[in-house]
Amino acid sequence: MASIGKIARRSFLIGSAAIAGGVAFGVYAARKPFENPNLDELPEGSASFNPWVIVDSQKVQLIAPHADKGQGVFSAQAALICEELDIELDQVEVSFGMPDKAYYNTAITDAMAGYPLYDTSPTAERMRGILGGVVKLAMPMMATGGSSAIPDSYDKLRKAGAVARETLKQAASQQSGVPVEQLKTARGAVILPDGTELAYTKLAGVAATIAPVTDVALRDPKDWRLLGKPMPRLDMVEKSTGTLTYGIDFRTKGMLHATVKVNPRQGGVMNSYDASAAKGMPGVQKILEITGGVAVVADNTWNAIQAANAIEFDWGAAPYPAEQAEHWEHLAGIFTEDHLNAEARVEGDVEAAEGEEVSGEYRSPYIAHAPLEPLNATMLVTDERVDIWTGHQVQTMLEQIIADITGHDVENVHLHNHFIGGSFGHRLEFDFVKQTAEIANQMRGTPVQMTYSREEDFAHDFPRHITMGRGVAKHKDGQITSLDVQIAGQSVLRSQMGRMGMSMPGPDTQLHEGAWDAPNFNLPNLRVRSYVTEELAPVSSWRAVGAGPNVFIYETLLDEAIHAAGADPLQERIRLMGHEVSVKVLEAVGEMCSWNGPKIGENRGRGVAYGFSFGVATVAVVEVTNTEAGIKLDHVWLAADVGQVIDPVNLENLAQGGIVFGLGHAINCEITYADGMAEQANYYDHEGMRMWQCPPITFRALQNSPKIRGLGEPPIPPSAPALGNAIFAATGQRIREMPFNKHIDFV
Amino acid sequence: MQLIVNGTEHEVDVQPDMPLLWVLRDMLNITGPKYGCGVAQCGACTVHVDGMAVRSCQLAVGDLEGEVTTIEGLGQPESLHAVQAAWIEHQVAQCGYCQSGQIMQAAALLDMNPEPSDDDIDVAMSGNLCRCGTYPRIRAAVHAAAKKLQEA
C-alpha cells in the first residue's frame, strides 16, 4: 500500500496534538488501567476481578457498559465475556452498570489519528495509540458511537472473562488443593480431575481474597463455543413481548409527566409567551420556564402535550438563514480558499491528467434522525443526589453536564442507562436531558418524566449536515484516469462539540470521510478537498456521519465517468481498487448477484457502489425496474468485511436494516427550513422505507480485514449511490440530488 | 370510566377525549403499546379491540367499545403467542420499539388471513414503521407464524 504514504496529512491537527500530548503526558501513564468501580461497594464475599465481572454466592453478574440502541451490543458484550469465562449466556445476569471512566472507549479515537483505518502500518498504529492515550488522560470518554463498540470490546471483554476464569481456578485450587494446571472450566464451574464441579458462585468468597490473575492468553477463534455462531439475543424475548422497559416506560411512585416547547428556530430566543389558556387545562400542575422555552408538567403525557400546544409563543429569529434556498446558495459560495477545510488527499496531478472530462454537482440534504422512541428522560433531583433514567450514548459526560445544571458533585449524579428505541445519532445529544434537569431541579423531590412530542422531536432534531459536492472526472482509453472531488458542508463535529461546550482544533475530518480514504490506489490522479462553514443550521452525527453524503458524491461521479468511458462499473472499480480486502468485497458481490453488467433488460438496471466507513469495506448492488408507475426496487446484494463475525444472525439483521435505512432516506427524506423552522413535523413528511417497498436483501460477511469492526453504520454510504446508479442503468436518468423522489417516482 | 384490558376491568378518571394509548401507558402503566408519532403514522401503539388491530393513539377512550388486548395480553415470556415465538425464532428485533405494534398487527392479520402471501403481508404491515429496517425478518416471521398456527 505504497500510496498511503502519499496521502496528505499535514493539516490533521488532531494527529499533531497527539504527538505533542504523547510527549507531554508520557505513554506509560496512559497504559495504567483505571480502578475497578465495582470494588467501592462490593459486599463481603463477592469477588470482582475487573470492571466487567462480579461473582457472589448467588450469581455471576456481567456489566455490558455500551449503550444498546438496537445494534445488539448488549448481548455481544456478554458473549465476549462468556466465551472466555466458560459460562453460558443463560447463566449470567447482565446489566449496563453505572457509568465510570473505567469503561472509557478505547477505540473511538482510532478514526481521528489522521490515518485511514485500512492503514495498519506500525506508524499509523503508534499514532492511534498515542492519541488514544492522550484522550484517555485528558478526557476518558465512556461513549458508544462511530461503530466502535465491538472494536473497543473485542479484546478487552474477552480478557475480562479470561482473567475472571483464571482467578476462579486459582480459588478452586486453593480450596481443593488440586494444582491449577489440572483444573478445567465449563458451564460456570471449575471442574476437578475427578469430575467434581465447583460452581463459580461457590468460589466467590475465596476468589475475593486473591489478586486477579494478570497474565492470560486469549483463545484461538477456531476454539470458540459461542462467538462466531448464531446466538439468541438477550433482549429478544422482552422485545417480542412488550416487557422491556425503555426509558419512556420507566415508572416510579409519584412521578409526573412533562413535555417542552423550545424555539423551533433552533438556538433562537423566546421573546415572550402566554400560557393563560394552558394553565387551567386538565391535569396541568406547573408551567416552568427553561432555557429557550417552556415546560408543562402534568399528571400524564397527553395532558402535558395538549397544554403545551395551547401556549402562545413569540419566538426570536433563527441564528442561520431562514429559507432553505439560502442554505444551498451559501454552500455554493464556499468552494473557496478561505473556506478550505482540508486538502485531504492528493495523488498525482488532477489538473495535468489526460482524458475526457465528466463533471457534476451533487446535493445531500438535511435529514432527521427520528428514532421511533421519542427523546425522553426521567429525573429525580433531591438535595443529596440526582437520578437519571434514560438511554444515552455518552454516559460519563452526561452525568457531568447534569451536575453542572443542578449544582451537585458529579459523584452524586447517577445515570441508570436504559435500552434505547433507536438513535441513529440523536442519543449523542444532550438537550433533552438538560431540559429534564432544568424541570426536575425546579421540582426537587418529585420525579419527572419529560417526553418530546413527535413534532417537538422533529423540530429539535439536529439533522444530518447539508452537503454539496462538485467533481470532475477524466477517462481515457476506457479507463478512469483522474477524480477531482470537492465537498462543501456544514461542520457536523464543530456543531455537535460546540453544544458540549468544546471547541475542535483543525479540520472537520467528517467533511471528507469516505472520499479522502477511498482506497482507489490504482487511480493515478486523485484529489479530495473539503470546504467548511458554521453558518447554517445546527447539525449532528447521523448514522455513518460524513461518509453518507461523501460516498454518494464520490461513487456517483465515478459511475458517471465509468459510463462515459464505456467500462463496466464493477470491473473498473475492481481495477481501480488497490486494496486487497476491498477487492475481495467487490468480487464477492459480483459473484452473489451474478453480475453481468448494469443493463439487464428493458427498463431494468443494476447499480454498484463501494463505501469505506468506520474501517469496513462495504459494497452494495441494487437492482431496479422502471415500471409505468415508477422505480421498483427488485433486489439488493450487500457484502462487507468486518474482520471477525461475532454473531452472523445479528450481523445480517444490521446489514439488511442498514440498507433499508440508507435507501429509504435517499428515496424520500429531507429536512428543509422555512421561516427558520423545519418544515417536516412527523413521519408523513419524512417517511423512510415501509415494508411494501422493501426488496429482498442478500448479505455476505467477509473476514479478511486484520481488525474487527462494527457494522452499525457502514451499510449506509454505498446504498444511496448504488440505487442512483441502478436508476441510471434502468432509465438513462442521472440523479445527483437526494432525496431521489424529487426527480423520479417510486413504487 | 370503565374499560377491560387483557381480561382485567379497570376504572379510570380521565377526559373522554384522551386517547386509549395514554390511558394504557400513563394511567394503567401498561407500557407495551408505544408512543411513536401520535397520528397513526407508525403503528407502534397498535392494540386489539375485540380482536381488530387498532391504533390506540387515535381512539378516544370515550369512544372505546369492546375489550382491549395489548401485547402483554397476547402472550407472556413463559406463554408466547405463535407470532411472538416466530419473532424470537427469527431474531426480528433491533431496537424493538416498533415490535409490539408489528406483532399485534401481524397477529390480527393471521386471524383474518391464515395463509397470507407476501403481497398480503405488505398491505397489512405497511402501516407499521420500523426505523431499524427489520422488514425482511418480519416477513419471514409472519410466514413462519402462519405455518405454525395452521399446524396447531
pLDDT over 50 at A1, yes or no? no
Residue A194 burial (C-beta neighbours within 10 Å; 0-12, 13-18, 19+): exposed
The alpha carbon of residue A174 is apart from the nearest alpha carbon of chain B, in Å, by: 41
Count CB pairs under 8 A between chains A and B.
Answer: 186
For chain B, the C-alpha Rg in angstroms (whole number) is 15
Residues of A in contact with B55 (CB under 8 A): none
pLDDT band at residue A20 using 50, 70 and 90 as cut-offs: very low
Is the model's pLDDT at A688 over the cut of 70?
Answer: yes
Q: Which amino acid is at A61?
A: Q
Mean pLDDT of A137-155: 90
Residues of A within 8 A of B32 (CB-CB) are 241-243
Cβ partners under 8 Å of residue A432, min gap 6:
A375, A376, A377, A390, A450, A452
Task: Write down the pLDDT at residue A286.
Answer: 98
pLDDT of residue A13: 39
Which one of A691, A697, A747 would you mutate to disrupt binding with B, by most B Cβ within 10 Å of its Cβ? A691
Q: Looking at the predicted structure, is the pLDDT value of residue A14 above 60?
A: no
| Residue A31, pLDDT score | 57
- Out of A240, A248, A660, the one facing B133 most closely (by C-beta) is A660
Strand order in the sheet with A376-381: A284-290, A293-298, A256-262, A448-451, A376-381, A386-390, A413-417
Least confident span in A506-510, A635-639, A702-706:
A506-510
Q: Which of A302, A376, A542 is the best substitution to test chain B (most B C-beta atoms within 10 A)?
A: A302
Determine whether the interchain pair B99/A240 forms a contact, defined as Cβ–Cβ distance below 8 Å: yes
The 10 Å CB-count burial string (b at 16+, else e) for A255-275 is bbbbbbbbbbbbbbebeebeb
What pLDDT sits at residue A501? 87
Of A157, A223, A149, whose CA–CA distance to A186 is shortest?
A223
Per-residue pLDDT tens for A334-373? 999 999 999 999 999 999 999 999 999 999 999 999 999 9
Cα(A317)–Cα(A393) distance, rounded to whole angstroms? Answer: 31
- Mean model confidence pLDDT for chain B: 97
Q: Hey, which residues 454-483 in chain A have their CB within 8 Å of chain B?
A: 454
Q: What are the beta bridge partners of residue A700?
A: A639
Mean pLDDT, rounded, for A149-172: 97
How much is the pLDDT for A311? 98
How far does the CA of residue B20 sit from the closest CA of chain A (Å)? Answer: 10
Distance from C-alpha of A231 to C-alpha of A76, rounded to nearest angstrom: 9
Give the distance from residue B108's alpha carbon to the nearest chain A alpha carbon, in angstroms: 16
User: Which of B31, B100, B126 has the CB atom closest to A692's CB atom?
Assistant: B126
Asked if residue A426 has pLDDT above 50, the reply is yes
Question: Measured between beta carbons, which residues in chain A are less than 8 angstroms from residue B24?
Answer: none
Selected residue of B12, B15, B26, B28 to mutate for chain A interface (largest A Cβ count, 10 A): B26
State whether A660 and B138 contact (CB < 8 Å). Answer: no
Q: What proportion of chain B, given as a percentage, has pLDDT over 90?
A: 98
Q: With CA atoms as reference, report the closest residue to A45 among A211, A206, A189.
A: A206
Query: Which chain B residues touch A687 with a CB distance below 8 Å?
Result: 129
pLDDT tier at A134 (50, 70, 90 boundaries)? confident
Asked whether A694 and A662 are in contact (CB, 8 A), the reply is: no
Q: Does A691 reach chain B within 8 Å, measured CB to CB?
A: yes
Q: Look up the pTM and report it.
A: 0.95
Smallest Cβ–Cβ distance between B84 and the set A241, A282, A696 belongs to: A241
Residue A7 predicted with pLDDT over 90: no
- Interchain proximity A232–B87, CB inside 8 Å: no
Residue A284, pLDDT > 80, answer yes
Provide mean pLDDT across the span A210-229: 95
The mean predicted confidence, pLDDT, of chain A is 94
* Model confidence at A16: pLDDT above 80: no
- DSSP category for residue A146: T
- In terms of CA atoms, which chain B residue is nearest residue A368? B131
Residue A201 CB: number of other CB atoms within 10 A? Answer: 16
| CB spacing of B37 vs A656 below 8 angstroms | no
Percent of chain A with pLDDT over 70: 96
Beta bridge partners of A610: A619
Tell me how far apart the 2 most distant CA atoms of chain A are, in Å: 80
B27 touches chain A (CB under 8 A): yes
* Average pLDDT of the segment spanning A615-640: 98
Residue B15: closest CA among chain A residues belongs to which residue? A282
The minimal CB distance from A243 to the residues B34, B42, B77 is found for B77
B46: contact with A, CB 8 A cutoff:
no
Q: What is the mean pLDDT of residues A174-191?
A: 97
Q: Which residues from A are below 8 Å from B39, CB to CB?
A: 454, 682, 684
SS3 assignment, position A329: helix
For B103, the closest of A69, A240, A659 (CB atoms) is: A240
Is the per-residue pLDDT at A2 higher than 80? no
Q: Is A129 on the interface with B (CB under 8 A)?
A: no
Question: Among the listed ranges A17-26, A282-291, B141-150, which one has the minimum average pLDDT value?
Answer: A17-26
- Cell, residue B11: 376504572
Residue range B49-54: mean pLDDT, rounded: 97
A28-68 per-position pLDDT tens digit: 455 567 899 999 889 999 999 999 999 999 999 999 999 99
Q: Which of B84, B117, B125, B132 to mutate against chain A (most A CBs within 10 Å)?
A: B132
How far is A361 from chain B, CA to nearest CA, in Å? 30
| pLDDT tens for each residue of A542-597 | 999 999 999 999 999 999 999 999 999 999 999 999 999 999 999 999 999 999 99
Note whether A154 and A403 are within 8 A (CB): no
Once rounded to an integer, what is the mean pLDDT over residues A178-202?
A: 98
Specify the 3-state DSSP secondary structure of A704.
Answer: coil
Report how far Cα A676 is from the mean position of its chain's Cα atoms: 28
Confidence (pLDDT) at A567: 98
Give the confidence band of A25 by pLDDT, cuts at 50, 70, 90: very low
Q: Which three cell numbers stand for residue A218?
A: 486469549
A715-736 mean pLDDT:
98
Give tens-digit pLDDT for A634-681. Answer: 999 999 999 999 999 999 999 999 999 999 999 999 999 999 999 999
Asked if the C-beta of B137 comes within 8 angstroms of chain A's C-beta atoms, the answer is yes
Residue B134 contacts A where some CB pair is shorter than 8 Å: yes
Instruction: Give the residue, A88 or A5, on which the prediction is more confident.
Output: A88
Q: With cut-offs at 50, 70 and 90, classify the pLDDT of residue A140.
A: confident
What digits encode the pLDDT tens for the residues B99-142? 999 999 999 999 999 999 999 999 999 999 999 999 999 999 99
Say if residue A558 is exposed, middle or buried (CB neighbours under 10 Å; 0-12, 13-18, 19+).
Answer: buried
The pLDDT of residue A504 is: 82
Instruction: List chain B residues with CB under 8 Å of A230.
Output: 91
CA distance A63 to chain B (A): 19
Q: Which of residues 51-90 of B touch A (CB under 8 A)?
A: 70-72, 75-77, 80, 84, 87-88
What gap in Å lies between CA A686 and CA A112, rounded to an integer?
Answer: 32
* Nearest-CA distance B77 → chain A (Å): 6
Q: How far is B57 from chain A (nearest CA, A)?
A: 10
**Under an 8 A CB cutoff, do A238 and B77 touch?**
yes
Which run of H or of E encompasses A378?
strand A376-381
pLDDT for res A130:
87
**8 Å CB contact of A70 and B135:** no
Report residue A650 as a C-alpha cell: 445479528
Q: What is the pLDDT of residues A455-494, one digit of tens each?
A: 999 999 999 999 999 999 999 999 999 999 999 999 999 9
Q: From the CA of A457, how many Å to the nearest CA of chain B? A: 10
Radius of gyration over every alpha carbon of chain A, rounded to an integer in angstroms: 27
How close B68 gets to chain A, by Cα (Å)? 15
Smallest CA–CA separation between A520 and chain B, in Å? 31
Chain B CB within 8 Å of residue A680 CB: no
Q: Do B80 and A682 touch (CB under 8 A)?
A: no
Residues of B in contact with A451 (CB under 8 A): 35
Q: Which residue of B has its CA nearest to A249?
A: B31
CB contact under 8 A, A659 and B122: no
Return the pLDDT at A110: 86
